[in-house]
Each structure stands twice: as C-alpha cells, then as structure tokens.
C-alpha cells in the first residue's frame, strides 16, 4: 500500500493499525510539513514499512510510487480550517493539485485508489435541522479548506466516470484520538490544561461537531478497501454530535478542573454551525459499526495519551499558541 500523509494524525494511526492487524507492506509518502511528525511512525517494523519524504504535487515521484504499489490511500492534505483562512495557497496546491497528480498516476498505471475526505464539503446544518448529511447532500463548502477538499472529491468522481479510474471515496466527521496536532480543538484544550492555560472557546461555543474516534474512521476505510463498490462515496460517522461548549466542559471535568475555567475568544470567520453524518449506507452495505461508542471514555483515553506523551506534542505547542495569539484566539 502507498499511504500519502501517513505522518499526520489519521494517516499515522492508519499505518499502525494496518501493520498491527495485517501482513501488508506500507510506503508512506509525506512532505513532512509542520503537521507531519516522524515520532508518530517510530517503532514500526522496518521490513514492512518505509517513509519517503516528498510531496504529492511532485508528479515524477508520485508516478514512480503509485506504479510500485497495488493500492494508494490518499490522506495527505492541508487540514486546518484556521490556517486556510490565514493563507489558502498551500491548500489549493496540496489538496487540489496533489490529488490531480495522484489521479493521473493511478489512471496511467490502472491502480486502486481510495480518497479520504471530510463531511465539511457539504457545508453546515442549522442547529435545529432534523436532517443529517447523506451521500446525496449537495456540495456547499464554506472555507478555503473545505472548498479545496470538495474540489479534490469532484476530481476523483470525474476521473472515475471519464477515465474508469478504480476509486472509492469516504467523507468522515471530526476525528479525535492520539497523535492529533495540538492546533486542533480537543488536543489544544487538553495540552492547554496541562500547561495551566485556560481552554479557548470560539464565539458562543454552540457549534456542533459529530465526533468519531480515529480508529473507527480507519476501520471503516479498511472495510471500504475490502468491499466498497468502485465509484461510490461512503459517509463515515459515529452519531457523536456534541457542541463545543459540552466538549470543553467535559475536558475540564475529566482533568479535575472547574467546568467553567475556560475563555471565550474571537470566533472563526465563516464558522460552520453544525455537522452531522448519517452513515446508514456504510453500516448496511458494508456492515461497519463504530467500536468507540462512549465519547467520555474515548476522551479520557485521549487525555491520558497526551499526559503520557508530552515529548510528542511539546515541540509544537509554543509555535501553535503564538499563531493563535495573532488572531486573538
Ligand atoms: P494532518 O494535518 O494531521 O496530516 C496531514 C499530513 O499530510 C501531514 O503528515 C503532512 O505532512 C502531510 N502533507 C501535507 N501536505 C503534503 C504534500 N503536499 N505532500 C505529501 N504530504 C503532505 O491531517 P489529518 O487530520 O490526519 O487529516 C488527514 C486526512 O483526513 C485529510 O485529507 C483530511 O482532509 C481528512 N479528514 C480529517 C478529519 C479530521 O477530523 N482530522 C476528518 C475528516 C477527514
Ligand atoms: O481553540 C479552538 N477553539 C474552538 O472553539 C479550536 C482550535 C477550535 N474551536 C472550535 C472550532 C470548531 O467548531 O472547535 C471546533 C473544531 O475545530 P477544529 O478542531 O479546528 O476542527 P474543524 O474545523 O471542525 O475541522 C476538523 O474536522 C473536519 C478537521 O480539522 C478537518 O480536517 C476535518 O475535515
């Protein structure tokens, strides 16, 4: 397998999972941006694992690697909405041009391809909307990040239809778990509390995210690789809707702090109100079900991981908070 973005949060958990549970061999292609962390790939069996440092936008490198593997799973992306508001340029390059280069290579070499995407391509829902996103919801992305992910999804669909590329797609809701960069909501608050900094809530905190444990996401991806129908999109979600205020209060309580010991900070421009996934298709067609159905216990384990792995996150913490300080967040 070729796994792009395998030094990032979801990709590295995917690599560990596959190497732990199968006999497969994996090559990771990762540009090792600020979000790529070699420490996330430590201790893997060297005879079954290799890390190639390079960009998915490098057509020659992508061609060579795609040709040499049976399957490409494409996780690599610029992934943070706040960064996309400050500088959209790398999002257009990596998310759109990088996907284009991979698609051209899998097309030339007639290889199987799986595209990792997000529920954010569907835009957002009102808090009281009884509907959730399905595979038929029209695309309506809000941010530079989500619009470049939407663009990449549409390239995949077009390459399937026009060129017969053997691709599947998945759009997942918000992931949490070990090895997530401290710029993201949950690890930022956990590491803030460890450092004696008050957690930071954007705006009113009413915004809802549909949380799923990263291992449940990756188990769904493996199931799609095994049995997904070519050309199809599968939504991945674990019925984990929570508003940001609830999550921040739960983190504080689980970490032994008063539940109101957080600060309200500037809201994110264009902040999506609510995401919610209906994963009926994945569950009924492929028999997938989430294993981490108890958010509080998954969150406790995640807090424990950050407490026990300070060496992993400490090098990125100060620069991340300095970036947030510039936008009053
Ligand atoms: P991440 O930011 O933690 O990791 C991204 C990885 O991609 C990093 O290792 C980075 O070095 C690498 N990368 C960036 N640009 C590259 C390039 N040009 N060439 C090669 N590698 C490059 O992101 P993540 O949270 O692990 O997200 C992985 C994928 O899952 C993304 O496609 C994202 O859109 C999608 N997704 C994420 C979530 C979530 O909650 N985090 C939810 C749904 C979908
Ligand atoms: O300090 C914070 N305070 C806060 O209130 C941060 C960093 C975030 N937030 C809010 C914004 C969102 O409503 O928390 C929510 C989650 O924020 P992020 O972790 O930045 O995630 P989000 O913007 O929802 O996008 C994530 O899920 C979908 C991933 O980063 C994307 O890659 C994925 O596609």
Instruction: Return the structure tokens found at 54.
Output: 């390079």
pLDDT of residue 310: 98
Instruction: Return the structure tokens found at 101.
Output: 């280069």
Alpha-helical (H) ranges within 164-258 are 185-194, 214-227, 244-254
143 falls within a domain: yes
Length of the chain: 329
Nearest bound ligand to CA 143?
A: 2
Q: Which of 9, 209, 248, 316 has most ligand 2 atoms within 8 Å of its beta carbon, as the pocket-test mutant?
A: 209
Instruction: Return the structure tokens found at 158.
Output: 């077009």
Which helix (H) or strand (E) segment is 138 a member of? none
If 0-12 CB within 10 Å is exposed, 13-18 middle and 19+ buried, where does residue 260 land?
exposed
pLDDT of residue 111: 98
70 falls within a domain: yes
230 falls within a domain: yes
Domain that holds residue 42: 2-181+210-241+274-293
How many domains does the chain contain in total? 1
Q: Is 200 in the pocket of ligand 2 (CB under 6 A)?
A: yes
CB burial string 220-252: b at 16+ within 10 A, e below: bbbbbbeebeeebbbbbbbbbbebbbebbbbbb
204 falls within a domain: no
Instruction: Return the structure tokens found at 325.
Output: 């300080």
Catalytic residue among 30, 78, 101, 119: 119
Q: Whose CA is nearest to atom 37 of ligand 1?
A: 118
Q: Which of 79, 87, 216, 298 has most ligand 1 atoms within 8 Å of its beta carbon, as the pocket-test mutant?
A: 79
264 falls within a domain: no
Contact predicate 35/17, CB 8 Å: no
Mean pLDDT by 10 residues, the chain (329 residues): 98 97 96 98 96 98 98 98 98 98 98 98 97 98 98 98 98 98 98 98 97 98 98 98 98 98 97 98 98 96 98 98 96
48 falls within a domain: yes
- Provide residues with CB under 6 Å of ligand 1: 4-5, 7-11, 29-33, 35-36, 55-57, 75-79, 94, 98, 116-118, 149, 172, 174-175, 181
Answer yes or no: 120 catalytic. yes
Ligand 1 atom with least separation from CA of 145: 34
Nearest bound ligand to CA 217?
A: 1
CB proximity list for 216: less than 8 A, separation 6 or greater: 236, 238, 290, 291, 292
CA torsion angle 318 29 24 73 (round to 10): 90
Answer yes or no: 23 catalytic. no
Catalytic residue among 122, 145, 176, 306: 145
pLDDT of residue 248: 98
202 falls within a domain: no
pLDDT of residue 328: 95
Q: Is 180 in the pocket of ligand 2 (CB under 6 A)?
A: no
CATH number of the structural domain spanning residue 74 = 3.40.50.720
Ligand 2 centroid–CA 19 distance in Å is 29
164 falls within a domain: yes
């Amino acid at each position: 397998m070729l796994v792009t973005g395998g030094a990032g949060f979801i990709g590295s958990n995917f690599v560990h999972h596959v190497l732990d549970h199968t006999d497969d061999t994996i090559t990771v292609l990762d540009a090792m941006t600020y979000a790529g962390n070699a420490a996330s790939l430590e201790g893997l069996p060297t005879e079954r694992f290799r890390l190639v440092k390079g960009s998915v936008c490098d057509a020659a490198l992508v061609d060579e690697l795609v040709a040499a593997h049976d399957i490409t799973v494409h996780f690599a992306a610029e992934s943070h909405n706040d960064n996309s508001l400050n500088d959209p340029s790398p999002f257009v390059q990596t998310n759109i041009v990088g996907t284009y280069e991979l698609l051209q290579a899998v097309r030339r070499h007639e290889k199987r391809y799986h595209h990792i995407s997000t529920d954010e391509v569907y835009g957002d829902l009102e808090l009281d909307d009884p509907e959730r996103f399905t595979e038929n919801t029209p695309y309506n992305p809000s941010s530079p990040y989500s619009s470049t992910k939407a663009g990449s999804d549409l390239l995949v669909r077009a390459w399937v239809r026009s060129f017969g590329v053997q691709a599947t797609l998945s759009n997942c809701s918000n992931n949490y778990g070990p090895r997530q960069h401290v710029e993201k909501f949950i690890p930022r608050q956990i590491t803030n509390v460890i450092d004696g900094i008050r957690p930071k809530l954007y705006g009113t905190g009413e915004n809802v995210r549909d949380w799923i444990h990263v291992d449940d996401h990756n188990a769904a991806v493996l199931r799609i690789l095994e049995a997904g129908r070519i050309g199809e999109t599968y939504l991945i979600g674990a019925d984990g809707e929570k508003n940001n205020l609830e999550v921040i209060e739960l983190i504080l309580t689980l970490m032994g702090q008063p539940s109101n010991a957080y600060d309200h900070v500037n809201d994110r421009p264009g902040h999506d109100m609510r995401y919610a996934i209906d994963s009926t298709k994945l569950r009924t067609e492929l028999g997938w079900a989430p294993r981490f159905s108890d958010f509080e216990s998954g969150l406790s384990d995640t807090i424990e991981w950050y407490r026990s792995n300070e060496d992993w996150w400490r090098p990125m913490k100060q620069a991340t908070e300095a970036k947030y300080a510039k936008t009053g967040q």
